[in-house]
Chain A
């Protein structure tokens, strides 16, 4: 197990460095003089100052070396548009996005377990078909469109929830719903099919013959058996969720990390983009390691194959 962790960690670090390097090079290949793009009205001297501070006069390998040296110290440079350090900008944006992410995930997990159970336990009944059809429908809807519909219903027509900018916790509701709907749809399908699968497993049938109660069979046998596919699906979906968060934050003008990165890209705020890319890739790599290790930890059979805990 420890070996697996180490191997995945080394792989992860390697991938992160590659991502940093590639994005670093690409960002510097963007056509146009960043100093002019960033400060078009500034005097040539001021523009020169920007070039100097970014080290743009040096070669790309040199710039990369400088950047990595600072990165190790936890310094990601300055954001030119926010006139603050990249770390500080991220510190402000990340918690807001995390609120959306966590509340969307929690809502989806709870809802999908309930809906998936109702559908799975009544396989092929009308209620199963209804839930499954709605799930397919929500899976087919683009996030930004769902967001727009939510705005039309709750902000424009009912006027109960804010639709733009961050105005306190109420602003998190609609973006959370927009993120949670497609996620719930996917997870509901997973819960449904793996429950149906579980109830066909021999050990679940045997449990009936052993006189174990239906409730215990559901929780300890069938649902427990669905945990691994569920965790794997959740992990894959988290990847998509990070993409969705950019879009949803854009629609709601929600000042989280996605909105920040989009604006940073459009304004050629190199350091900020670079910083967020690192953040995203670290997130992805940690996520993948957690899923891998989680599924080993959750399945005694895999644990045995991996050699102990």
Chain B
């Protein structure tokens, strides 16, 4: 009886947060696909078979999503592509968020002061510069691979986190409860972690899925322009880049990877948007 009630309340919660649930399901699915790509992929993504090139999707049970220009299984390639997207998306945001967190807290706690102004001018310079050009230059400098793409992406993103964190730390510093905590003899470090951290979660958490979505798009974009993950490594971007040549004769070829990418991004946006609404009562309507 009790179990049934619990189940019912879970269902009710899902009913109220439909988009959030859909988003979570999508994200988790993609995560599993990404992590277990080698197990899940039905074929070897690199195995070419010129006799079945550009096989249309849903025609052959061996190649559900068809084959590419040299007869490789598109589904398997996309599964590996998702793996790349997931890894680079999560890692770059994690790196950016951590860097931003540290810089933001230091900057906020020491503000106003020289460390704060220097850090803020650095973020100024970085934010005052188009990401794409930065990425292009950086990636011609270092040979593009997973690590350099991740670093470049997080390089473009961390200033935004640093600013968010800083602007949340500064007003918190002067609030009464922090003063009270200081009076009670809490150390500086403890104050930052316990009290400020509590208030940073609502500000930062919704940004993370939204930024992962953005970074996944950026990675695919760089790879599409041959500035990111290049063959033989697989990324959704370079699959689409391959497909570009066949846009007139085999339009389906570029559509499929796009749809796979958009669903992933949509899922992340649903999660992020709903978190934002959840943490900001002003948006709740």
A–B contact (CB under 8 angstroms): yes
| Of B128, B132, B140, B141, the contact of A243 (CB 8 Å cutoff) | B132
- The answer to whether B125 touches A15, judged by C-beta atoms less than 8 angstroms apart, is yes
Interface flag for A272 (CB, 8 Å): no
Residues of B within 8 A of A196 (CB): 285
Name the segment of B94-102, B196-204, B250-258 touching the other chain.
Answer: B250-258
- The answer to whether A266 touches B220, judged by C-beta atoms less than 8 angstroms apart, is no
A139-B269, A144-B224, A156-B247 known; A239 and B130 CB under 8 Å? yes
Query: Per-residue 0/1 for A56-97: is the Cβ within 8 Å of any B Cβ (1 yes, 0 no)?
Result: 000000000000000000000000000000000000000000
Query: Per-residue 0/1 for B211-231: is the Cβ within 8 Å of any A Cβ (1 yes, 0 no)?
Result: 001000100110011000000
A142-B220, A144-B221, A266-B140 known; A243 and B262 CB under 8 Å? no
Residue ID in chain A nearest B132 by CB atoms = A243
Q: How far is the CA of A280 from the CA of B133 in the complex (A)?
A: 9
Residue ID in chain A nearest B134 by CB atoms = A23
Query: Per-residue 0/1 for B102-130: is the Cβ within 8 Å of any A Cβ (1 yes, 0 no)?
Result: 00000000000000000001001100111
| Of A247, A268, A284, the contact of B128 (CB 8 Å cutoff) | A284
A123-B285, A152-B251, A250-B225 known; A280 and B269 CB under 8 Å? no
Residues of A within 8 A of B233 (CB): none
- The answer to whether B132 touches A246, judged by C-beta atoms less than 8 angstroms apart, is yes
Tell me the interface secondary structure of chain B in the complex: helix
- The answer to whether A142 touches B258, judged by C-beta atoms less than 8 angstroms apart, is yes
- The answer to whether A265 touches B283, judged by C-beta atoms less than 8 angstroms apart, is no
- The answer to whether A142 touches B217, judged by C-beta atoms less than 8 angstroms apart, is yes
A136-B269, A141-B262, A247-B221 known; A26 and B128 CB under 8 Å? no
Residue ID in chain A nearest B226 by CB atoms = A266
Interface flag for B265 (CB, 8 Å): yes
Tell me the interface secondary structure of chain A in the complex: helix
Residue ID in chain B nearest A196 by CB atoms = B285
A-B contact count (CB 8 A): 110
Q: How far is the CA of A145 from the CA of B223 in the complex (A)?
A: 13
- The answer to whether B247 touches A145, judged by C-beta atoms less than 8 angstroms apart, is no
| Of B125, B132, B258, B285, the contact of A145 (CB 8 Å cutoff) | B258
Interface flag for B8 (CB, 8 Å): no
Residues of B within 8 A of A262 (CB): 136, 225
- The answer to whether A156 touches B133, judged by C-beta atoms less than 8 angstroms apart, is no
Q: How far is the CA of A123 from the CA of B283 in the complex (A)?
A: 13
Residues of B within 8 A of A273 (CB): 137
Residues of A within 8 A of B283 (CB): 193
Interface flag for A43 (CB, 8 Å): no
Interface flag for A18 (CB, 8 Å): yes
- The answer to whether A136 touches B273, judged by C-beta atoms less than 8 angstroms apart, is yes
Interface flag for B138 (CB, 8 Å): yes
Min C-beta distance of B6 to chain A, whole Å: 30
Interface flag for B131 (CB, 8 Å): yes
A247-B221, A280-B129 known; A151 and B247 CB under 8 Å? yes
Interface flag for B188 (CB, 8 Å): no
Residue ID in chain B nearest A193 by CB atoms = B283
Interface flag for A277 (CB, 8 Å): yes
| Of B213, B221, B258, the contact of A149 (CB 8 Å cutoff) | B258
Query: Per-residue 0/1 for A169-188: is the Cβ within 8 Å of any B Cβ (1 yes, 0 no)?
Result: 00000000000000000000
Interface flag for A242 (CB, 8 Å): yes
Residue ID in chain B nearest A276 by CB atoms = B133
Interface flag for A288 (CB, 8 Å): yes
Q: How far is the CA of A285 from the CA of B127 in the complex (A)?
A: 10
Interface flag for A296 (CB, 8 Å): no
Interface residues of B in 134-155 (CB under 8 A from A): 136-138, 140-141
Min C-beta distance of A136 to chain B, whole Å: 6
22 interchain pairs (CB within 8 A)? A14-B121, A15-B124, A19-B125, A26-B141, A124-B285, A140-B265, A140-B266, A140-B269, A143-B221, A148-B254, A149-B255, A152-B251, A239-B130, A242-B132, A246-B136, A247-B224, A251-B244, A261-B133, A265-B136, A280-B133, A281-B129, A285-B128
Beyond the given A15-B121, A31-B141, please list 6 additional residue pairs across the A-B interface where CB-CB is below 8 A: A29-B141, A30-B141, A137-B262, A141-B258, A247-B225, A281-B129
**B residues whose Cβ falls under 8 Å from a Cβ of A:** 121, 124-125, 128-133, 136-138, 140-141, 213, 217, 220-221, 224-225, 240, 244, 247-248, 251, 254-255, 258, 261-262, 265-266, 269-270, 273, 283, 285
